[in-house]
Structure 1
Amino acid sequence: MKTTLLAAVSAAMIAALGICAGDALAQNYPTKPVTIIVPSAPGGTTDIAARLVAEGLSKHYGKSFVVENKGGASGNIGITEASRARPDGYTLLLTYSGYQVNNPALFKSLAWDPIKSFVPVALVLKAPHVILVSKDLPVNTLQEFVAYAKSKNGSVTYASSGPGSIQHIGGEQLAQLTGIKMIHVPYKGAGPALTDLLAGSVNLFITTPPSAVGHISSGAVKGLAIAAPERHPLLPNVPTTAEAGVPGLELTAWFAMYAPAGTPKAIVDDLSAQIKTLVESEDFKAQAAKQGAYAVFLGADELGEFTQQELKVWGEVIRKANITLE
């Protein structure tokens, strides 16, 4: 009995010391530059989001938050490096949903786990997608496209920026929800895919609004629906997928910060609080809007729950479509 009581007291003391140590670290954090790993090349939305966050945190803390791009292997190189970093708050990961919640289903084996390898810090951006079709396709609504695709017995084509990309998975989700069959045509990037849509070489492509606005306005392509819960300010006349008759079709990329598992909670909480202030600022919202994205904050606990939900939803779509990258 005494041994059990002593063990319980010891455990409580160790836990209390851990909390105190974490609080002390947070009070002094950071004392040196912090690295934010981005698992993709410079210039994309993930990189831009990371640099906006890094700039804001650098100003707040008075220490440098430095973005390091570690692209390659569909994000796995950078994410693996972040997962193996010391959990002291000096290495963080700002990543894209297509990597964080799709890769576990796309790859048979990974050197990192989306839940066990990281602790969530904050979600900062969401970027919805718009469904486009060639101007010569005899459809003007999403329901008309579904009917057209069914009449063509699987010969309709859709483009993507590559196997396993968000456009590939989104096309498969559209097919699963509507019962149509389409031929996947992968490209090496969104640019070439959009070019071929404009030329009429493919029938459908899903992409972010900024690259589509001008082409929709000129009539070069048709915007059938925004795959999100609300209409997009850049395309106010394009209905949501729910409004267009395909509820449940939501294709929104998101961008969030995680830290290596074991990072002190006090540091995570402090970072999350500072990021909340940053993301809710008018300047951050304006910068996000330039990318066709929304500034959206989720705290650590909310991001953890959201990550779990997204893993389940997209894992099911990917497995049902039998999409693999190995």
Structure 2
Amino acid sequence: MIATTRRILLSALVLGTASTAFAQNAQAPVRLMVGYSAGGPVDQGARLFAQALSKELGTPVTVENKTGANATLAGMETVRARPDGKTLWFAASPTITISPNVMVKMQFDPAKDLTPLAPILSYYNVLVVNKDQPYSTVKELVDYAKANPGQLSYGSAGVGGSNHLGALLFATRSGIEMNHVPYKGNAPAMTDVIGGQIHMMKDIISTASTYINSGRVRAIAVTSPTRNASLPNVPTFAESGVAGLEGFDVGGWYGVFGPKDMSAEQVAELNKAINAALSQPELKQRYKELGYDEWIGSPKDLADRAAKERAMWATVTKGIEVN
């Protein structure tokens, strides 16, 4: 009888300790990993989202910038984390869809080593040029490039990045030749467009708008199938009338991933919280002002789009390798 009583008391103690630990863990901060430096477009989008998600979860959500290796170090940090919902990755699509096709030594497989939780938003780029250049439309740019083959240069955030491959796709489809100049981020590339060291670049609309509206660069075209609400006077590539650019539609997205082996219950709860965060009026308005298209969906929606775009970029990136 005494032994039985001891076992009951011991079991109660263990359960009580476990419950306390679970409650404490539920209140522990959520780490939101970002693979890009502070102040850039992905970091900006993540910090706005973190504030909204914190309200839904009732616990702090802290953004951690872990840069390097084409933003895959943030992904690796997530892959190695415990599947307890306390380490999440606010990922930009190039790391999920392009990097697996071009990185020689990528340390994880986004399709196998992560748990898709929810999409966040879609975004598009805008082609901007140095304001002193003699072309103001896509057609004028293409005509100039054909008359001066190999003389135009464009910058990007690095080899294999979305703005590199988007510009390459534009050049290929319009039949022109341009020189690629890779940088360690969009900001230094934009600085050199403004200064005239390079002629042009594609940048995310949310960050390029500041430079466009201040007159420091000239906007030529957006990569979306329709005009963007934040740049209503800038035409699309498809509107240019240039052969090969019909239906031009090249964009990206942000999504949230967790470590693999997360429980179905955790996934469902986090997807619900993320979608509720995206429905907050303040976040919706801020994303709209930045030129983003909100994308509320399921883990399957995110996984399916990632798989489709990995296959698409595989055909564009043949022969491109990043160490």
Q: Taking structure 1 as the reference length, what is the TM-score of the superposition?
A: 0.82
SS at match of 2:268: helix
Q: Post-superposition shift, 1:33?
A: 3.3
Aligned residues of 2:129 and 2:199 also touching (Cα < 8 A):
yes
How do residues 1-326 of structure 1 correspond to structure 2 at under 5 angstroms?
Answer: 30=26, 32-213=28-209, 215-217=211-213, 220-245=216-241, 246-319=245-318, 322-326=319-323
Q: 1:257-286: CA deviations, max 9, x gaps?
A: 011111111211121122112212221122
Q: Post-superposition shift, 1:183?
A: 0.9
Amino acid at match of 1:172: L
- Once residues 292 and 202 of structure 1 are traced to their aligned partners in structure 2, the CA distance between those partners, rounded to angstroms, is 25
After superposition, the Cα gap between the structure-2 partners of 1:147 and 1:300, relative to the gap in structure 1 and judged at 3 Å, is same
Q: Post-superposition shift, 1:219?
A: 5.3
- Once residues 183 and 314 of structure 1 are traced to their aligned partners in structure 2, the CA distance between those partners, rounded to angstroms, is 20
After superposition, the Cα gap between the structure-2 partners of 1:61 and 1:134, relative to the gap in structure 1 and judged at 3 Å, is closer
Q: Post-superposition shift, 1:205?
A: 1.4
Partner of 1:8: none
After superposition, the Cα gap between the structure-2 partners of 1:30 and 1:243, relative to the gap in structure 1 and judged at 3 Å, is farther
After superposition, the Cα gap between the structure-2 partners of 1:30 and 1:249, relative to the gap in structure 1 and judged at 3 Å, is farther
- Once residues 298 and 166 of structure 2 are traced to their aligned partners in structure 1, the CA distance between those partners, rounded to angstroms, is 27
Q: Post-superposition shift, 1:131?
A: 0.8
Partner of 1:12: none
After superposition, the Cα gap between the structure-2 partners of 1:152 and 1:68, relative to the gap in structure 1 and judged at 3 Å, is same
SS at match of 2:240: coil
Between 69-78 and 54-63, report the one with greater CA deviation: 54-63
Q: Post-superposition shift, 1:220?
A: 4.7
After superposition, the Cα gap between the structure-2 partners of 1:200 and 1:49, relative to the gap in structure 1 and judged at 3 Å, is closer
Q: Post-superposition shift, 1:237?
A: 0.7
Q: Post-superposition shift, 1:117?
A: 0.5
Aligned residues of 1:284 and 1:295 also touching (Cα < 8 A):
no
- Once residues 125 and 61 of structure 1 are traced to their aligned partners in structure 2, the CA distance between those partners, rounded to angstroms, is 20
Between 265-274 and 49-58, report the one with greater CA deviation: 49-58
- Once residues 45 and 122 of structure 2 are traced to their aligned partners in structure 1, the CA distance between those partners, rounded to angstroms, is 10
After superposition, the Cα gap between the structure-2 partners of 1:153 and 1:47, relative to the gap in structure 1 and judged at 3 Å, is closer
Aligned residues of 1:45 and 1:291 also touching (Cα < 8 A):
no
Aligned residues of 1:134 and 1:197 also touching (Cα < 8 A):
yes
After superposition, the Cα gap between the structure-2 partners of 1:301 and 1:234, relative to the gap in structure 1 and judged at 3 Å, is same
SS at match of 2:70: helix
Amino acid at match of 2:322: L
Q: What RMSD, in angstroms, separates the aligned Cα atoms of the two structures?
A: 2.6
Q: 1:120-148: CA deviations, max 9, x gaps?
A: 11111222111122334333321232222
Aligned residues of 2:135 and 2:141 also touching (Cα < 8 A):
yes
Structure 2, gaps ≥5 residues long: 1-21
Amino acid at match of 1:314: W
